[in-house]
Amino acid sequence: MTNLKVLDPQRWVSSHADYLYSFAIARIDDEELARDLVQETFLSALERIDHFEGRSSERTWLTSILKNKVIDVYRKKSGGLQSITQHLNGDVDDADFFEAENGHWKEEYQPRVFGIEQYDTLANKEFNAILDNCIKKLPVLWLSVFTLRYIDDLATDEICTQLHVTAANFWVIIHRAKVNLRACLQKNW
């Protein structure tokens, strides 16, 4: 029971709740669910306090528990692989953007400069708000994969294992998510 000396459950809420909530809300755009996940994290940690090995900090251990709970939410919301074939508003397809003969961008869809090369705080805030809205429009499985890859920086094989998708499906999802985000950004920015 030496782990009890390292862990201080009495101070978890005051020391870690805000951080854990920020972590959850950045990955799940639902304040109530984020609060619930933080509470579930604390409960799970209390139930498994004897499994804490002391190889990480208290906050790292709690964050790891929360990360697994977020992945469970992604998995539950994604509903499996049927989401892969969904498109935003049903109107975006790879063929819309690329030439069939050579796979290059069609001229009207070639990447354009976003206009944020210069540092402008107001423009960056506006861009980030539009980017957040575009990300929220992604189908749940795409959002889950995109978030785990580019926000949590998880490896492909870990994401595939967590979400029960194949590597090929992962790359299709990532590609479609990027194409849809790009289309949304070009339309709205």
163 with 105, same domain? yes
User: For residue 106, what is the DSSP state?
Assistant: P
The residue with tokens 């959002």 is 143
Residue 38 has pLDDT above 90, yes or no: yes
Residue 145: helix, strand or coil by DSSP? helix
What range does the domain containing 154 cover?
A: 81-188
pTM of the model: 0.58
| CATH (domain of 65) | 1.10.1740.10
Token duo for residue 149: 């890859």
Token duo for residue 27: 């990955």
117 with 72, same domain? no
pLDDT for position 120 = 62
- C-alpha 48/C-alpha 63 separation (Å) is 14
- C-alpha 148/C-alpha 43 separation (Å) is 24
104 with 180, same domain? yes
60 with 12, same domain? yes
Task: Find all residues with CB under 8 Å of 127, minimum gap 6, and list them.
Answer: 114, 116, 189
Nearest to 22 by CA among 4, 11, 45, 38: 38
124 with 142, same domain? yes
Q: What percent of the chain has pLDDT over 90?
A: 18
Binned at pLDDT 50, 70 and 90, residue 81 comes out as very low
Nearest to 20 by CA among 55, 70, 56, 54: 70
103 with 55, same domain? no
Residue after which a domain boundary falls, among 39, 56, 76: 76
> Do the beta carbons of residue 104 and residue 98 sit within 8 Å?
yes
pLDDT for position 84 = 42
Residue after which a domain boundary falls, among 53, 76, 99: 76
Residue after which a domain boundary falls, among 48, 76, 104: 76
> Do the beta carbons of residue 188 and residue 130 sit within 8 Å?
yes
Residue 109 has pLDDT above 50, yes or no: yes
24 with 61, same domain? yes
| CATH (domain of 158) | 1.10.10.10
44 with 68, same domain? yes
- C-alpha 26/C-alpha 143 separation (Å) is 12
> Do the beta carbons of residue 64 and residue 41 sit within 8 Å?
no
43 with 126, same domain? no
- C-alpha 144/C-alpha 166 separation (Å) is 14
Number of domains forming the structure of the chain: 2
178 with 91, same domain? yes
pLDDT for position 116 = 53
118 with 176, same domain? yes
